[in-house]
Amino acid sequence: MSKYLIAILTLSVSLFGVPSLAEEDTPNVLFIMIDDLRPELGAYGKKIIKSPNIDRFSDQGVVFTNAYVNVPICGASRASMMTGIRPTESLFLKYYSRIDEEAKDAQTLFGYLKSRGYFTQSMGKIMHFSADSASDWSVKPWSAPNKHGTGFQNYLLRENIDMQKRLGWGPPFEAADVKDNDYIDGMVADNAVKAIKEAKDRKQPFFMAVGFVKPHLPFNAPKKYWDMYQDNEIHLADNPFQPTKAPKKATHQWGELRKYAGIPKKPLPVPDAMAKKLVHGYYASVSYIDSQVGKVLQQLERSGLSDDTIVFLLGDHGWSLGEHGLWAKHSPFDHATRTPLIVRVPSKLSNTAASGLAHGLVEFVDIFPTILELTGQPSIDQLQGESFVAQLKDPNAPGKAAVFPRYELAEVIKTKNFALTEWYSKKGKMLGRMLYDHRVDPEETYNVAEEPEYQSVVEDLHNQLVTMMKTR
């Protein structure tokens, strides 16, 4: 019997007869998740990015500079995060991963909080499929209406709608001169504002999850956000090439982007003009989402709930903008596995509240136990991460010694100074490895795994990685 099945049996006993929690004793949680968001924000030192609302929010909380997802793909990352269970060779590895299919007996974060007296609700993209574990929410997850039948691509310009319906995929970006709430994410923000107003009158602690789609492809955002950036400001990646001595397994043909009209179908680089347009679209989408986040946080303040609400803001994984010749996630590189994580704890929780940069390592299986500790809830045995409340109390706290992302056959260990990736066959045979020394090569351009002076590092990290793999 797996560890999480045992955990659920234990949990079902411990929860019998648990009374609802008193709202005055229990903080709310606002959980804001942003799809495909890399640390491309002013708060992370990216001066070109216009993200005033998130930057202002970050000034009041702890900004984690080394926060890693456990798998760089949407469905799997969210499933792992919301259960606190690491992905394995048979669990939480694909974009279509679902908790209610792959780990039916696992407890979700929102389901557990619901059982502890919280009102839990979801709007926008939280689980990859809104129906995944839907009964664990207090109310049915809310999704924006599908305008024009274009689904998540959400085109508004007639020519792009027609192209999408004709070809299945439209262009990889759009800059329609429309209102914020003409696109999906604006509707999500409006619904979150409404939900916060209702929460104030409910007199029950809440876990409210708000999921934004952008900056996921296609990079569709109102024109005013595109106008925030000029073409001459857009710079392409400094390392648009495969790392020296990296195995071929380290790269992919970025099929997610190739689906879109106007993108080369052969394994060729994206032409510079198109690459600049893509980066421009990504930046515009980030600024668009920043504005939507601002509306939600502003309503939290207006409703008088800020002092009673812990706020998490994070991406579900990173994204490559041409680095290593890659576009999209789907890789073990830092650009795919590292994402923003910003947490604000109300000052009334004086033993926890702090602000500043936290450089210690955290990983997203740590989020579930952290929220339980912050809200005063008992832990459960299924959790494979560790609370990072110590870093919320003191951003200078060390964090974890190592974190462990993985993607398909690639197992990864990242420490303060190094990133080791090893590929294994399904029978356990090592197929290749790469090591990057982040002290001198933060952009991961030269694989030093075979260099003589790094063999002791490789051996040490390999042993740590194998030990972790045996404990999953």
- Closest to 99 measured CA to CA, from 382, 367, 338: 382
CATH number of the domain at 36, please: 3.40.720.10
Residue 13, pLDDT score: 34
Length of the chain: 472
Give me the pLDDT at residue 11, please: 43
Does some domain include residue 413?
no
DSSP per position, 333-354:
SHHHHB--EEEE--TTSTTT--
Most confidently modeled range among 22-36, 261-275, 387-401:
387-401
Q: What is the average pLDDT across 177-206?
A: 96
Q: Are 325 and 444 in contact (CB under 8 A)?
A: no
Residue whose entry in the numeric block shows the structure tokens 């936290």: 358
Decide if pLDDT at 241 tops 60: yes
Residue 411: inside a domain: no
Res 199 pLDDT > 60: yes
Mean pLDDT of 196-225: 96
Output the pLDDT for position 470. Answer: 87
**Among the listed residues 285, 301, 251, 277, the one whose alpha carbon sits nearest the alpha carbon of residue 171:** 277
Closest CA to 322 of 224, 422, 254: 254
Map residue 139 onto helix, strand or coil: coil
- pLDDT at 381 exceeding the cut of 80: yes
Q: Decide if 209 is inside a domain.
A: yes
264, pLDDT greater than 70: yes
213's torsion region: left (phi>0), alpha (psi -120 to 50) or beta?
A: alpha
User: Which phi and psi angles does 389 have, rounded to 5°?
Assistant: -60, -30
C-alpha span between 384 and 81 (Å, rounded): 10
Q: Which range (8-22, 298-312, 367-381) has the least confidence?
A: 8-22
Are the beta carbons of 435 and 458 closer than 8 angstroms? yes
For residues 406 and 423, is the Cβ–Cβ distance under 8 A? no
Active site residues: 74, 128
Neighbours of 45 (CB within 10 A): 10
Q: Is the pLDDT of residue 82 over 80?
A: yes
- At residue 280 the predicted structure's pLDDT band, cuts being 50, 70 and 90, is very high
| CA torsion, ordered 265, 268, 269, 270, to nearest 10 deg | -20
Query: Which pLDDT score, from 0 to 100, does residue 144 have?
Result: 94
- Which of these ranges, 63-77, 140-154, 213-227, 371-385, has the smallest mean pLDDT? 140-154
Residue 353 has pLDDT above 90, yes or no: no
Contact assessment for residue 174 and residue 86, using Cβ atoms and an 8 Å cutoff: no
Using CA atoms, how far apart are residues 81 and 88, in angstroms rounded to an integer?
Answer: 14
pLDDT in tens, 45-68: 999 999 999 999 999 999 999 999
Q: Which residues contact 424 (CB under 8 A, 6 or more apart)?
A: 409, 411, 430, 431
Q: What is the mean pLDDT of residues 97-117?
A: 97
The larger pLDDT score, comparing residue 355 to residue 318, is at 318
Q: What's the whole-number mean pLDDT along residues 341-363?
A: 89
Per residue in 316-333, pLDDT (tens digit) is: 999 999 999 999 999 999
DSSP string, 392-445: HH-TTS-BBS-B--EETTEEEEE-SSEEEEEEE-TTS-EEEEEEEETTT-TT--
Whole-number Å distance between alpha carbons of 198 and 372: 24
Q: Is 140 domain-assigned?
A: yes
**Mean pLDDT value across residues 357-382:** 97
Q: HSE of 150 in the Cβ direction (CA atoms, 13 Å)?
A: 24
Peptide bond into 369 cis (omega under 30): no
Q: Give the pLDDT score at 19.
A: 37
Region of residue 260 (left: phi > 0; alpha: psi -120 to 50; beta: else): beta
**What is the count of structural domains for the chain?**
1
Least confident of 205-214, 314-323, 341-350, 447-456: 341-350
What is the rounded CA–CA span in Å between residue 195 and residue 206? 10
pLDDT confidence of residue 355: 83
At residue 131 the predicted structure's pLDDT band, cuts being 50, 70 and 90, is: very high
pLDDT band at 192 (very low <50, low <70, confident <90, very high): very high
Q: 9 pLDDT exceeds 50?
A: no
Tokens of 436: 């990057």
> What number of other Cβ atoms are within 10 A of residue 137's Cβ?
22
Check whether 173 has a pLDDT greater than 50.
yes
CA distance 419 to 417: 7
Does residue 460 form part of some domain? no
Going by C-beta distance under 8 Å and a sequence separation of 6 or more, which residues neighbour residue 121?
Answer: 137, 138, 139, 141, 142, 195, 206, 207, 208, 209
> What is the pLDDT, as a whole number, of residue 252?
86
Confidence band, pLDDT 50/70/90 cuts, at residue 24: low
Question: What pLDDT is attached to residue 350?
Answer: 67
Q: pLDDT value at position 7?
A: 43
Of 433, 369, 443, 402, which is closest to residue 66 (Cα–Cα)? 402
Residue 447 lies in a domain: no
Q: Which domain holds residue 146?
A: 3-398
Average pLDDT over residues 20-29: 68
Q: What is the mean pLDDT of the chain?
A: 92
The verdict on residue 427 lying in a domain is no
- Is residue 418 domain-resident? no
Predicted confidence at residue 253, as pLDDT, reads 84
Mean pLDDT of all residues in 411-437: 95
pLDDT over 80 (residue 352) = no
Mean pLDDT score, 415-429: 93
Of the pLDDT bands very low, low, confident and very high (cuts 50, 70, 90), residue 16 is very low
Strands in 356-358's sheet, in edge-to-edge order, are 119-124, 206-212, 28-34, 309-315, 341-344, 62-64, 356-358
The pLDDT, as a whole number, for residue 196 is 98
